[in-house]
Each structure stands twice: as C-alpha cells, then as structure tokens.
A = this chain, B = another copy of it.
Amino acid sequence: MDIRFAANERVELTFLIGRVSRELRRRFDIDMASLKLTRAQWRAMLYVFRLKQPTQTELAEVLELGRASVGSLIDQLERRGNVARIVDEKDRRVWRVVPTSLASVKWAEIDEAGSHVATEVFAGFTEEDLLNVKSYMEKVILNLNRANEMSAHASNKGIANDTD
C-alpha cells in the first residue's frame, strides 16, 4: 500500500473536521431559529433539564465549557425567559439553574428539533458507521490529550526543543 495519507492529507482531514463542525452548528442554528435558540443555548437547556437544578460549574463540566462561557450562556437564556437562577440555601456562592415553566411546556417540541437535525445529518449511516465515527472521534480526543500532557511536561521540565 502506497502512502496515500501523507502528512499533508492528514492536515486537510483536520480542516475537514473543522468544516463539518461549523456547518453542523449552522444547521442546528437554522433549525432552531423558530424556537429562538442557538445550538449552544439549546444544548445548555438539554442539560438543565437532565441535571435538575445544576450549578453553573456543574453545567460547565457536562458541557465541557469554561465557567465564564456557561455564565454568559445562562445570561442569554435567562434574558429570554428560558431559565431562572435560584439561590442555593447551603452555599451563597452558587446559583442553581432551573427551567422556567414556559420552557418546560415547550421542551418536547424543542427536544424534537434536535432529534430532527441529528437524524438528518446522519442519514444513510448504519449503526456500525455511527459507532465507527464515535470511536474515531474519541481516539482523536485521546491523542490530543496525550499530546497536551506531553507538551505540559516538556514545558515544566524545560525539555522542549522539538522543532528548534
């Protein structure tokens, strides 16, 4: 087998993944526009319902976002009447995030919108394909984590000089 996947094509492949990600977000945003939600907001709502009164930090963890990002996401959702912040009795530092009754009523509809897009996006994929995609993506994440650890060590110990 000849080298069809030279470094160059691997680079292109990372760009392709980026492109998929961007277009995916765009499609979600379009489909959810009628619900007045962006994909990021929709996703936050998803976990607000799942977690039952999560703190913002808890949300940040499951969403894999920074606390600051989640904070502004909640701001948006609060302004539009989708969630409310309620105080925690036991810890005055934290806000607990809850859906408004309005959002609860509309949730079935909102949830449906997500399923619709996801089904559309993977049209023609078999179960096996989906599992493959998942495991490929997870493997990339693992490789990235390993790389991050390595560069962290290198800078800690002053090893570095890989490209010099």
Contact = CB atoms under 8 A, between A and B. Distances in A.
B116 A163 contact: yes
A88 interface: no
Interface string A8-22: 111101111111111
Contacts of A136: 125, 129, 132-133, 136
Interface residues of A, number: 66
Interface in A17-67: 17-25, 27-28, 30-31, 34, 43, 46, 64
Contacts of A91: none
Interface string A124-143: 11010111111011111101
Interface of A: 1, 3-5, 7-11, 13-25, 27-28, 30-31, 34, 43, 46, 64, 109, 112-125, 127, 129-134, 136-141, 143-144, 146-148, 151, 162-163
A130 B13 contact: yes
Given A7-B118, A27-B144, A163-B34, A17 B17 contact: yes
Given A25-B18, A163-B116, A122 B140 contact: yes
